[in-house]
Amino acid sequence: MEITAKTAQQLRLTEDEFELIKQKLGRTPNFTELCAFSGMWSEHCSYKNSIKWLKTLPRDGGRMLVAAGEENAGLMDMGNGFGVVFKIESHNHPSAIEPFQGAATGVGGIQRDIFTMGARPIASLNSLRFGNITDKKTQRLLSGVVHGIGHYGNCFGVPTVGGEVYFEDCYHTNPLVNAMSIGIMEAGKMVSATAGVKKGNPVFFVGSATGKDGIGGASFASADITAESTEELPAVQVGDPFQEKKLLEACLEVIETGAVIGMQDMGAAGIICSTAEMSAKSGAGMRIDLDKVPTRQKNMKAWELLLSESQERMLVVVERGKEAAVLKVFDKWDLSCSEIGEVTDDGLLKFYMHGQLEAEIPAWELVLGGGAPQYTREYKEPAYFSKIHAFELDSIADVTELKPVAEALIQLPNIASKRWIYTQYDSMVGAANASTNAPSDASIILAKGTGKALAITVDCNSKYVFADPYKGGMIAVAEAARNIVCSGGEPIGVTNCLNFGNPYDPEVYYQFVKAVTGMGDACRKFKTPVTGGNVSFYNQNPDGPVYPTPTIGMVGILDDFSDRMTLHFKEAGDVILLVGKQQNDIASSEYLHKLKKTEYSPAPYFDLDEELAVQQFVAGLIKEKRIKSAHDISEGGLAVTLLESGFYSDLGFYISVNPIQTAKSAVRKDAYWFGEAQGRIVVSVSEEEVEKLILTAKEAGITITELGTVSKGHITVNGEDWGSIQEWKEKYDTAIEKLIQ
């Protein structure tokens, strides 16, 4: 067949990119070669529209043991000779089309990124976004995604220990499914995703056989979802968690033989991606016989074998002469292990089918950081900013009664208990490394054998980023750090999943640039370098892009598990204190957005220096064992934070504050109770500790306010009887379940 620019466009390459490919090859590519470039030069694999800005993020320093982006996942020093490996990635488009398998294979793929480095996965988290929860399509997507995550994680044997779920209309067509995995390993035993440089070393294909599922998945993930998308997409990948469990054990065991030079997961773009990236990293090439690849469908073409994204597969480069040791391990685990080629020293990828050369491409020209194009896109301030700038606080009537507003807030889907979701996940499976499941702002995992514990969280309020991408990006990092600190951990590093609309839209690209810049500034302030992550563009619906959603996955260290802090009140009579300044601010709050039906307002109050000071102050109190609980103020404001602090132990509170009198400047009732200004944490302390703690805060320049006391179960606010904590907990726990019945 004649290969033209039209052929390239059908494969989602531009005419200019087709000309660039011809220039790099010195000839017109054949169809198989053009398919290889289509997969590898897709946004999903090449980051061609984002890499310029990703390079501005802090990517080294601190506890980092490998450079950001150099390996399948980030690796940071835990101490005691151990490292923590972690990464977050999206599986948005597949989940929009086939929610169960889309979400399940997202979980499977991120686990492989962890264990290909030689680490054992010990915990998973997820960040999910859907449309209006009362919509039947949303309920179908939600049910499928949650079932897929639970099925794969539970069967694979890695606990799902935390996450977040939001419901906003903009995610109706294009839900977001971001999966994070964390593993631990001996720091000196990392396996690199490289082919090595020694000519003649064999290349093995291990794991499941290859089928036609997921062909073109990388390029599909780099395009808008439309009504016709389901016609364009081949079968979404199908996951098998039991096969992956065997693959995990076999890979960790084969590493111990000393025979492995390099190992790479066959994720996006399949064989072409793993062969290209492993070769380019070491300056090597490969000769691959595609007819030796195990298949589960007959007569697969060369381009189909190269681009298939069938799950539970690895590419392994082995030291020549040690093949028997490798074959023995995979035979033990009843897994296919086929020698499909060898490493070469010419930098070329040569793919053969029954002895006939099907494609010949320089590996370097295919990959990110090599010959893949890098673009600088136009960006401009979004037109909707005029509506945000026009917001006037005085145009919103203040509340007269607090209780009915608080009752409405705790039943909003973004705030209410996600019990219906998390009970479908096994949080204790594989409990050799276990969470106690006591509530804290971040999930705490006891990493047995290391002498340490890990605090892990995923965070992003996309409404804040929509309102102010720069400030919203900073807040996402700051909230993640605040959750780690409130749980007793020291934040050490970040992985991110950057979910945005079409990068060719200048207003969308503005959101991306400013959010990345804000994230970078906050990461530098908190000394949490970015270890890697994922960019997901083209998250659109017919009415426009989703909210800009730069999800932050953050890991913290607890050197001593006894430093762990939980969020719930401990004892009646304890005193409740607010650390941080109250602000006359309701901007972008759930109260303003959902109850007052105001879509456009600025991001909430945020000051990076104040935030860091508050976090450091609370971290010191936890280390010194001076407080009994800590819970940050986020969605729903102070009222929701107080209620959530009482639920676990069925303890109420007696609060008596008049915001106008206790603040230096006037603060509205709704701002005091329901505003989402950042940099505030509610703590509880014993009565005898109060005066000393307030003095400590004054010396540190930290604002602290005494709010009231913990009660045995009843709630009283400024003299008003709010009933029992159990009544509020029932509303909070059952709100989502009632909406989806």
pLDDT interval class at 233 (50, 70, 90): very low
Q: Where is average pLDDT lowest: 426-440, 471-485, 628-642?
A: 426-440
Amino acid 132 reads: N
Residue 418 has pLDDT above 50, yes or no: yes
- The residue behind tokens 């169809």 is 31
- What DSSP state is assigned to residue 85? E
**Rounded Cα distance, 231 and 48, in Å:** 26
Pick the CATH number of 1-40+192-374 from 3.30.70.270, 3.90.650.10, 3.40.190.170, 2.40.37.20: 3.90.650.10
Query: pLDDT tens digit string along 641-691?
Result: 999 999 999 999 999 986 554 445 689 999 999 999 999 999 999 999 999
540-541/544-545 β-pairing: antiparallel
Query: pLDDT tens digit string along 48-73?
Result: 999 999 999 999 888 999 888 777 88
Is the Cβ–Cβ distance between 257 and 325 less than 8 Å?
yes
pLDDT at 664: 53
pLDDT at 429: 67
pLDDT at 218: 47
Domain ranges of the chain: 1-40+192-374, 63-190+441-564, 392-425+566-741
First-to-last C-alpha distance (Å) of the chain = 54
Report the candidate in 390, 412, 408 with the shortest Cα–Cα distance to residue 399.
408
**Rounded Cα distance, 146 and 417, in Å:** 15
Catalytic residue numbers read 44, 91
Average pLDDT over every residue of 530-546: 93
pLDDT interval class at 236 (50, 70, 90): low
Rg (Cα) of the chain, in Å, rounded? Answer: 26
Report the candidate in 250, 114, 117 with the shortest Cα–Cα distance to residue 183.
114
Q: Looking at 425-505, list the stretches that DSSP marks H as alpha helix, in order from N- to C-terminal side.
A: 462-467, 469-486
Q: How many helices (H) and strands (E) does the chain have?
A: 28, 26
**Mean pLDDT of all residues in the chain?**
92
**Rounded Cα distance, 158 and 160, in Å:** 7
pLDDT at 668: 95
CATH number of 63-190+441-564: 3.30.1330.10
- The residue behind tokens 């531009």 is 14
pLDDT at 430: 61
Query: pLDDT tens digit string along 198-217?
Result: 899 999 999 988 888 767 54
pLDDT at 22: 96
Report the candidate in 731, 641, 512 with the shortest Cα–Cα distance to residue 53.
512
> Does 63-190+441-564 match 392-425+566-741 in CATH topology?
no
Average pLDDT over every residue of 337-358: 96
Q: Which residues does 453 contact at the CB level (< 8 Å), separation at least 6?
A: 444, 445, 446, 447, 489, 557, 558, 561, 564
pLDDT at 181: 96
- In what side-by-side order are the strands of the sheet with 82-90? 74-79, 82-90, 176-186, 120-130, 160-167
pLDDT interval class at 259 (50, 70, 90): very high
Average pLDDT over every residue of 572-577: 98
Q: Where is average pLDDT lowest: 40-49, 119-128, 386-395, 618-627?
A: 40-49
pLDDT at 665: 63
Average pLDDT over every residue of 339-349: 96
Query: pLDDT tens digit string along 436-471?
Result: 578 999 999 988 888 899 999 999 999 999 999 999
Average pLDDT over every residue of 20-34: 96
pLDDT at 514: 98
CATH number of 392-425+566-741: 3.90.650.10
pLDDT at 461: 98
pTM value? 0.94
**Rounded Cα distance, 22 and 27, in Å:** 5
pLDDT at 293: 95
Name the helix (H) or strand (E) containing 631: strand 629-632
**Rounded Cα distance, 100 and 424, in Å:** 13
DSSP string, 181-218: EEEEEEGGGPPPS---S-TT-EEEEEESPB-STTTTHH
Which three-class secondary structure state does DSSP give residue 489?
A: coil
pLDDT at 239: 79
Query: pLDDT tens digit string along 149-159?
Result: 999 998 898 99
Query: pLDDT tens digit string along 286-327?
Result: 999 999 999 988 889 999 999 998 888 999 999 999 999 999
Residue 195 has pLDDT above 90, yes or no: no
Query: pLDDT tens digit string along 90-131?
Result: 999 989 999 999 999 999 999 999 999 999 999 999 999 999
